[in-house]
Chains A and B, each alone.
Chain A
């Protein structure tokens, strides 16, 4: 089955299901269905270790009886499982409460046309071909330095997906997409000290994936750089979050401005729209319609048309991330955020990474964060970390077993610079973040 036939099949599943829901008495209904197939091959120490043929289907349906709702989902898309799911959702809706905010998204917000975002670039690759690429990647890592003593392997994963969403407003839209990724994790050893790190790349287009040898080399360099780490004395000092860990700070911002956190009053950024939460040079946006984007989508998980949007402009919070439910709870309109932020970007202040080190002069460069340690209600932030001690604007030695702590509200206000070193994999576009001062816990 080619991809357009696949989409047509899934559209039929959704349309049948919506009809079934109507038959069972639902006033409104919506459903999303996805089908993915893929191949994942791992090579370890030069030998193929696992070959996984993946095939994941998922269907989620929500029905509304007036303002009461019921949901169901299934990994099995055959008609009896779909019928069982619709029946289960309808049964559940008999027991849930009337909720004035429940319902489909506003029909006026539905995506009128579904732009082609160029997300589908299948890779005709068999297990041998995938293993050969993973082997090149791992070989490059293992041959870089004799201290690379062991490996967790290199994995190539290629996946094709089809997604269709439809609701009883008459909206049915779908699109195919692909994702290809290559990752490598190796162990560096010197004496008793053993350190592991990894690197990866991910792309919609096979040809745009980073060179396998380059991914392997980076994985090895990152592991080697961690060797002979020391602890650091407890101190208050500037902290530079390297670009590859900086996305987690943006994700904390996004959790804090999620509509659901706002109406529950469970966020430290409550009632902050229109307020300066970052220095005035900060702008943060999302661009869901970027062609080939890692998180691109023409409509959100409720069929609402997506668009480019400024989340923070001149340091001022512009709005929340709203799906139709949280929007109604807050008396606002959906921002097409059902399913999260898509292709987020924070504008750089222009400095290359080395210049950020100079500007920091003396402080901690964080290259790994561990654990949860973020209280979204208060903004209190305390994470395990590893990285490097920086003095005179230069990296001195690796440090590990430290904590970095502060409050996200203060950290956002004390953001001094965002580097132009934004060449990181993943859907979040950011350079390294220099933060004026945090508490670093050590020995």
Chain B
């Protein structure tokens, strides 16, 4: 048994007084003749957040999220119920409600896999206790001071610090029990600057599956403060962005949100099993330029998007989605993997015990290519260089996706010139991927701030990429 599983058992079974016999009783209730698979997901979650604003520690909040989700699957049918109490009668009630789905189901059998105890990708720490309150607040005050000292035009600074401690335990119908202890911390700095009556904003931040001293290392917290100010000041000077089709260069790191939207969601197993994705049925086909190799890798130590095991107990993996432009595989949870006749890929994720798992991304990024970022810029006569983005969105059926640049520059005659205002970029995923004509050698991952939403469920994710050139992409500016 792994250390994480031992901690999870102690917190989620021993503490509320649940024995092996109790668990068997609940699982028996959940299973009926027609049920192909079933699982029970126990969660203990604590989260603490602090907000500094106007130079004072304005708010602090503590959250408890705990309970158990019970699921019974029969073919393509899922029954689901959950409870915020880990008491046996409530678990039995939930099991009874969840199994009702299977009444008319078909009979099948769940492949019994040996329980896997992969090497933990992060230490089983409780980040809420990883710094004293005095040190947490001092860190935020210093970030505030750093931002204000960076430039006299800084008017407002908001600093937030969040630490989350999640302990989960999954039991499947074969009796496998695996646990995970998941720390997650995040810090962000947001500033408003003003010059001659004109205001702009900038923000920056980072995070990891680590203790809070992550922000003390490598001057990270102060770096976020300076970066937020830099972005805001750049935007003060921004002119109207161009409108229409242009060559676009995306900087390394966070602009990888392109991959998350343009291909990532479309390669999730549920959409492909149902045949509703623009990528459905296209395994083995060329779906991107040969320069593109895209992976979803949940195994990067300490990363925000990483998981030692997914929310179904499957160890996460480094899954190749696209290799040299050829579509290699989809991201799967257990149910969709079984229905598609493939192996689960460690992408079964859920927001909490009160949500059903589904195929989700972890850390999605593109591997580096042969080009220098300078030569990519130099190759463009008139285009856009976008280095920072807000969120994005995709319609996986038509393949249309958007993502919004909030720091971008014009490229004129092979040189980066003036900053332009934020603008939305829109394209068709499979088309845009074939228009990637240059890939830099400067792969970078984001700083650990990404959150992905799907069907109302939010999960932490990572993205990354090297500098990329897209020959043509529609830019939503206001300048003709």
Known: A74-B63, A96-B60, A442-B244. A266 touches B199 (CB 8 A): yes
Name the B residues within 8 Å of A372 (CB-CB): 390-391, 404
Q: What are 8 residue pairs bridging A and B, where the CB atoms are less than 8 Å apart in the complex?
A: A54-B82, A73-B64, A152-B274, A371-B403, A373-B390, A373-B423, A439-B480, A442-B244
- The one of A52, A97, A403, A407 in contact with B474, judged by C-beta atoms closer than 8 angstroms, is A403
Q: Which positions 254-287 of chain B face chain A at CB distance < 8 Å?
A: 274-276, 278
Q: Is the CB of B243 within 8 A of A234?
A: yes
Known: A95-B137, A372-B391. A150 touches B85 (CB 8 A): no
Name the A residues within 8 Å of B100 (CB-CB): 51, 127
Known: A55-B82, A384-B400. A92 touches B60 (CB 8 A): yes
Name the A residues within 8 Å of B94 (CB-CB): 53
Q: Is the CB of B478 within 8 A of A406?
A: yes
> Which of A95, A127, A264, A373 has the most CB atoms of chain B within a 10 A radius of its CB?
A373
* Complex: chain A residue closest to B422, CB-CB: A375
Name the A residues within 8 Å of B275 (CB-CB): 150
Interface string of A234-271 (1 = CB under 8 A from B): 10100000000000000000000000000011100010
Name the B residues within 8 Å of A231 (CB-CB): 474
From A81-89, A308-316, A414-422, give the one contacting chain B.
Answer: A81-89
Cα distance A443–B480 when bound, in Å?
12
- The one of A75, A370, A405, A443 in contact with B400, judged by C-beta atoms closer than 8 angstroms, is A370
Name the A residues within 8 Å of B134 (CB-CB): 95
Cα distance A372–B451 when bound, in Å?
14
Q: Which positions 338-396 of chain A face chain B at CB distance < 8 Å?
A: 370-373, 375, 377-378, 380, 382-384, 386
A99 CB to closest chain B CB, in angstroms?
6
Q: Is the CB of B101 within 8 A of A51?
A: yes
Name the A residues within 8 Å of B395 (CB-CB): 196, 370
Q: Is the CB of B77 within 8 A of A49?
A: yes
* Complex: chain A residue closest to B474, CB-CB: A441
From A64-72, A278-286, A427-435, give the one contacting chain B.
Answer: A64-72
Q: Is the CB of B478 within 8 A of A405?
A: yes
Known: A234-B480, A377-B192. A95 touches B199 (CB 8 A): no
Cα distance A213–B290 when bound, in Å?
47
Interface residues on B, range: 35 or more
Interface string of B197-228 (1 = CB under 8 A from A): 00111000000000000000000000000000
- Interface residue A78 (Cβ < 8 Å from any Cβ of B): yes
Tell me what chain A mostly uses at the interface: helix, strand, loop, or mixed: strand
Q: A196-B395, A384-B393 are in contact. List 13 more A-B contacts (CB 8 A).
A: A48-B104, A54-B354, A69-B59, A95-B137, A102-B58, A150-B274, A150-B275, A196-B276, A370-B402, A373-B390, A401-B427, A401-B428, A443-B474
Q: Is the CB of B474 within 8 A of A401?
A: yes
> Which of B59, B76, B81 has the most CB atoms of chain A within a 10 A radius of its CB?
B59
Q: Is the CB of A371 within 8 A of B62?
A: no
Known: A75-B84, A194-B397, A382-B422. A439 touches B477 (CB 8 A): yes
- Interface residue A187 (Cβ < 8 Å from any Cβ of B): yes
* Closest A-B pairs by Cβ, 8 of them: A403-B476, A384-B402, A97-B56, A88-B62, A234-B244, A371-B402, A92-B60, A196-B397
Q: Is the CB of A405 within 8 A of B476?
A: yes
- Interface residue A181 (Cβ < 8 Å from any Cβ of B): no
A155 CB to closest chain B CB, in angstroms?
10
- Interface residue A16 (Cβ < 8 Å from any Cβ of B): no
A374 CB to closest chain B CB, in angstroms?
9
- The one of B200, B406, B477 in contact with A405, judged by C-beta atoms closer than 8 angstroms, is B477
Q: Is the CB of A442 within 8 A of B60?
A: no
Q: Is the CB of B475 within 8 A of A403?
A: yes
Known: A265-B199, A370-B395. A401 touches B80 (CB 8 A): no
Q: Is the CB of A81 within 8 A of B64?
A: yes
Name the B residues within 8 Å of A382 (CB-CB): 241, 404, 422-424, 476-478
- Interface residue A57 (Cβ < 8 Å from any Cβ of B): yes
Q: Is the CB of B85 within 8 A of A76?
A: yes
Name the A residues within 8 Å of B58 (CB-CB): 96-97, 99, 102
Q: Is the CB of A187 within 8 A of B243?
A: no
> Which of A51, A236, A403 has the most CB atoms of chain B within a 10 A radius of its CB?
A403
- Interface residue B344 (Cβ < 8 Å from any Cβ of A): no
- Interface residue A304 (Cβ < 8 Å from any Cβ of B): no
Cα distance A56–B83 when bound, in Å?
8
- Interface residue B196 (Cβ < 8 Å from any Cβ of A): no
Query: Number of residues in A with C-beta < 8 Å to the partner?
Result: 78
Q: Is the CB of B244 within 8 A of A95?
A: no
- Interface residue B392 (Cβ < 8 Å from any Cβ of A): yes
* Complex: chain A residue closest to B192, CB-CB: A266
B248 CB to closest chain A CB, in angstroms?
12
Q: Is the CB of A194 within 8 A of B278?
A: yes
Q: Is the CB of A52 within 8 A of B60?
A: no
- Interface residue A110 (Cβ < 8 Å from any Cβ of B): no
- Interface residue A77 (Cβ < 8 Å from any Cβ of B): yes
- The one of A81, A187, A384 in contact with B426, judged by C-beta atoms closer than 8 angstroms, is A384
Name the A residues within 8 Å of B428 (CB-CB): 401
Known: A76-B64, A401-B400, A403-B243. A236 touches B78 (CB 8 A): no
Name the A residues within 8 Å of B233 (CB-CB): none
- The one of A53, A76, A150, A378 in contact with B84, judged by C-beta atoms closer than 8 angstroms, is A76
Q: Is the CB of B199 within 8 A of A55?
A: no
- Interface residue B245 (Cβ < 8 Å from any Cβ of A): yes
Q: Is the CB of A439 within 8 A of B478?
A: yes
Known: A75-B66, A265-B156. A57 touches B424 (CB 8 A): no
Q: Is the CB of B67 within 8 A of A76?
A: yes
Name the B residues within 8 Å of A78 (CB-CB): 85
Q: Which positions 87-109 of chain A face chain B at CB distance < 8 Å?
A: 88-89, 91-99, 102
- Interface residue A402 (Cβ < 8 Å from any Cβ of B): yes
Cα distance A152–B274 when bound, in Å?
8
* Complex: chain B residue closest to A383, CB-CB: B424
Q: Is the CB of A380 within 8 A of B276?
A: no
Name the B residues within 8 Å of A375 (CB-CB): 201, 406, 421-422
B70 CB to closest chain A CB, in angstroms?
10
Q: Is the CB of A441 within 8 A of B476?
A: yes
A195 CB to closest chain B CB, in angstroms?
6
- Interface residue A50 (Cβ < 8 Å from any Cβ of B): yes
- The one of B64, B245, B274, B393 in contact with A371, judged by C-beta atoms closer than 8 angstroms, is B393
Cα distance A152–B283 when bound, in Å?
22
- The one of A50, A99, A440 in contact with B78, judged by C-beta atoms closer than 8 angstroms, is A50
Q: Is the CB of A150 within 8 A of B245?
A: no
Name the A residues within 8 Å of B199 (CB-CB): 265-266, 270, 377-378
Known: A265-B192, A266-B201. A51 touches B397 (CB 8 A): no
Name the A residues within 8 Å of B98 (CB-CB): 53
- Interface residue B155 (Cβ < 8 Å from any Cβ of A): yes
- Interface residue B398 (Cβ < 8 Å from any Cβ of A): yes
Known: A92-B60, A401-B400. A384 touches B424 (CB 8 A): yes
Q: Is the CB of A370 within 8 A of B84?
A: no
Q: Is the CB of B276 within 8 A of A150?
A: yes
Interface string of B77-98 (1 = CB under 8 A from A): 1111111110000000010011
- Interface residue B57 (Cβ < 8 Å from any Cβ of A): yes
Q: Which positions 176-212 of chain A face chain B at CB distance < 8 Å?
A: 187, 193-196
